[in-house]
Structure 1
């Protein structure tokens, strides 16, 4: 089933791109919905429990280097894969419109299938191949379907590609060094040296992104179309955090990079919150907020603890659904008002489009970590992991990072409250474009709202996957 879950959206995506002249945009989007729904059902059905590997497939691939087509889902990778398939379904639903390009739907399917390949790979070289398959389609999504100026969009897309390809090169060299040292490419058998861990960490830090390797992200988000921003935040950034979990967290040499990850991530939490407070463009604000949220995930990883592993996975999934909801809400505002400038959209959305305003506010407060919503648990578990110090950090480093993260939470509250006041509250400045959520928007954003609330109220749906039986099995 895991092979079919990857193959169905990938093949359908390629067919839509090749046959874009023979199918309408609306029909292509519905075909995409069907393909991604099949993929999501297969990913859900393959799960056999947290002990062991679900849906394992292992056949020879490149025997000369020991690489294998080894696929399967673990307690770490399954939530990432299920979230990716779910987000892909919603992106295709969002594209159900007469002016949708079949090629864009095809690219969304290929990106989603490639990400599923990353999360399903149990061979390091196979994981890297899927890693790279997502890059070029994302370049086209940003460069060709941007609402921004074409030259600006292409510069942002090219910057995204250059940064991430450089990170990929470092990751590949790290994999090669580790494979030469250990003689095997299976993730469970890979034994990275200290040099390999440094290279892998740098490469994955670009994709996560970790400050100061984050500078490609705001421009890419502000230039991308709505589904491009959702895929970047909900799926693409998770390739970086997942890579840190499977390559770096279990390593005996994590202590070499852990202090730097802890400090850089906590500084990023504070810095991104300050950057958010200075933004007028809503999409750039959400993009900078992602840097802070990924900071909590990386801080959790740097502790190498049970709480840290649970925090990293839960925080990644929570960020995927919450930030996806924020970008869909921002996309709805862009569709109405032709801008994502908060000044241009105007105040008083509660009175002008109450359901749109309520959805945005719920996503915003979930983003700051309000108890009862999904964003809360990832942050709390990360703070708990830092407080407990973990097995590789020293107490001064862990508690310094903890203190900075707490400052970042206070600053996050400030910029979220500012955004809510600038958009939802105040005297309504009625515009002709004012209208509330349509049926497509209700379905897409309603599905995400449901997940945000359920994960916030019933976190054990994910947290029960991680316990003593799973210590050290991040690969």
Structure 2
């Protein structure tokens, strides 16, 4: 086994074993320390995965591309069904793997300082580690059935996090999350079955570029897979589970949910739906583009009317993920790059926003914008960080949120034609609405005379909070100033994917 193969196993085995160890540790704080150390080791294991890369995903003529990840593990799994335990990583999946490991570490570390009401910190950390296994496994799986298994691993632990440590309406929100996700899971399972039955293999490597599937099979498979991934992304009108889940989830749950769990949908759309059924993707691209722009506009307009802090940030995710899906819908190199960097930027910035929103609610015991006026007068550091995160989220040039939204609009213009030009204009207008509702948020929360809930706030920020927030602030700056950190590693696999599109 090579070093790369060992690391692929380690990034799954370490959090899985740690989750069991945390659950078995009798002392609550000691268990949280064990979980945090394991999350740190997992993050360290993800970084060298890019050290020895010597290529990406390369296509050859009109045939299916010869997929060559940086590292690939291929072991027998269910020989009777010709299923294999295949893991691999390349420039599309690696940034998401690192982001998942980072956010899990920050959330586990955050529990050392504060455990939300509702249950033990030991159980919460164990669930976070299991969620990490499911998300990372989804990004690494190169077998469709294995992909489905990892995709489903996340469901019950996230349900438990929302239902166990969430707000007063947590059980309804958790149930809604589970029902929507199960609906998407059924469609994903049927889509996987259609592909495997027609192709005779579940190997994503062999299926990349269509794998010899007929046009009819690709249209059916893409429809099933795209709807399944749209639920997870979420794409309007399948988004209504998201605001309730975000609003009721504890801070660490919201961070994981917005930061990386939504990316399972967009990653699956690129890697599986578009990669395995490119003819279906070309056929459905206009509809996907229109739904993406509808998500941008609806999300922004709803945010303009929101009066609750976490709910506003939750609806903003609908709009931001709309830009990601618009980039995918263009099926161009520029659009796919926009989607990939938009994924990372959204995970970093929205993760920071939910950390800050949780800090505000913990201090004031309210999320009502009308009760949060004057934050900069009593807690200037907290207000400053909230201002930075909001400005990054609205897409200010030089910060991470700019590139994905700008490139998605440019990609739509490059496709050309009346439809895509109109979609580009509407998306750009949605970007202006994004700036409007985030500036409105800052005006209502940070400016004005301090409200009674804000007037008694302590001015400082705890060291544990700064330790959790600082990496996200630095990443928002780094990706904004040097987008090649994401775009550079994804260039080869994106080019190969575009090459096989009809």
Q: Do the structures match in fold with TM over 0.5? A: yes
Query: Over residues 206-258 of structure 1, what are the superposed CA-to-partner deviations in whole Å (9 max), with x where a residue is unaligned?
Result: 00000000010000011100011011101110000000011222312212221
Distance 1:383 1:182 in 2: 36
How do residues 250-399 of structure 1 correspond to structure 2 at under 5 angstroms?
250=275, 251-344=278-371, 346-389=372-415, 395-399=417-421
8 A Cα contact 1:181 1:193, kept in partner? no
SS in 1 for 2:230: helix
Residue in structure 1 matched with residue 270 of structure 2 by the alignment = 245
Query: Over residues 382-404 of structure 1, what are the superposed CA-to-partner deviations in whole Å (9 max), with x where a residue is unaligned?
Result: 11111111xxxx72221121111
Distance 1:276 1:204 in 2: 24
SS in 1 for 2:455: coil
Residue in structure 2 matched with residue 173 of structure 1 by the alignment = 190
8 A Cα contact 1:115 1:236, kept in partner? yes
8 A Cα contact 2:22 2:32, kept in partner? no
Return the offset for 1:55.
2.9
8 A Cα contact 1:249 1:302, kept in partner? no
Query: Structure 1 residue 68 and structure 2 residue 111: aligned?
Result: no
Q: What are the ranges of 5 or more consecutive residues in structure 2 without an aligned counterpart?
A: 1-6, 57-67, 211-216
8 A Cα contact 1:273 1:411, kept in partner? yes
CA RMSD of aligned residues (A): 1.6
Query: Structure 1 residue 186 and structure 2 residue 213: aligned?
Result: no
1:15 aligned to which of 18, 21, 25 = 21
Query: Over residues 429-450 of structure 1, what are the superposed CA-to-partner deviations in whole Å (9 max), with x where a residue is unaligned?
Result: 3522333211011111111100
Task: Tell me the matched-pair count.
Answer: 464
SS in 1 for 2:436: helix
8 A Cα contact 2:148 2:189, kept in partner? yes
Return the offset for 1:468.
5.5
Return the offset for 1:118.
0.5
Query: Over residues 164-196 of structure 1, what are the superposed CA-to-partner deviations in whole Å (9 max), with x where a residue is unaligned?
Result: 111011011111101111111111222362101
Distance 2:197 2:417 in 1: 35
1:226 aligned to which of 251, 270, 275 = 251
Which range is displaced more, 53-62 or 278-287?
53-62
Query: Over residues 330-380 of structure 1, what are the superposed CA-to-partner deviations in whole Å (9 max), with x where a residue is unaligned?
Result: 011111011222222x21211211111111111101111001100001111
Residue in structure 2 matched with residue 133 of structure 1 by the alignment = 153
Return the offset for 1:98.
6.3
8 A Cα contact 1:55 1:72, kept in partner? yes
Return the offset for 1:286.
0.5
1:204 aligned to which of 229, 235, 239 = 229
Distance 2:133 2:273 in 1: 24
Query: Over residues 1-45 of structure 1, what are the superposed CA-to-partner deviations in whole Å (9 max), with x where a residue is unaligned?
Result: 11111111112113323x25x122x32222222111111111111
Q: Does the C-alpha gap of structure 1 residues 98 and 352 become closer, same or farther in structure 2, counting only changes over 3 Å?
A: closer
Q: What are the ranges of 5 or more consecutive residues in structure 1 without an aligned counterpart?
A: none
Q: Does the C-alpha gap of structure 1 residues 385 and 282 become closer, same or farther in structure 2, counting only changes over 3 Å?
A: same
Query: Over residues 82-121 of structure 1, what are the superposed CA-to-partner deviations in whole Å (9 max), with x where a residue is unaligned?
Result: 1100110101111113655200010011101110100111
Query: Structure 1 residue 109 and structure 2 residue 126: aligned?
Result: no
SS in 2 for 1:72: strand
Distance 2:79 2:92 in 1: 28
Distance 1:454 1:423 in 2: 27
Return the offset for 1:65.
2.3
Distance 1:435 1:230 in 2: 24
Distance 1:304 1:65 in 2: 33
8 A Cα contact 2:336 2:494, kept in partner? no
8 A Cα contact 1:206 1:213, kept in partner? yes
Q: Does the C-alpha gap of structure 1 residues 357 and 211 become closer, same or farther in structure 2, counting only changes over 3 Å?
A: same
Query: Structure 1 residue 401 and structure 2 residue 423: aligned?
Result: yes
Distance 1:139 1:311 in 2: 31
Query: Over residues 302-342 of structure 1, what are the superposed CA-to-partner deviations in whole Å (9 max), with x where a residue is unaligned?
Result: 11111112111100010000000000000111110112222
8 A Cα contact 1:274 1:411, kept in partner? yes
8 A Cα contact 2:348 2:476, kept in partner? yes
Distance 1:66 1:302 in 2: 33
SS in 2 for 1:252: helix
Distance 2:93 2:460 in 1: 37
SS in 1 for 2:449: coil
1:414 aligned to which of 426, 431, 436 = 436
Query: Structure 1 residue 124 and structure 2 residue 144: aligned?
Result: yes
SS in 1 for 2:206: coil
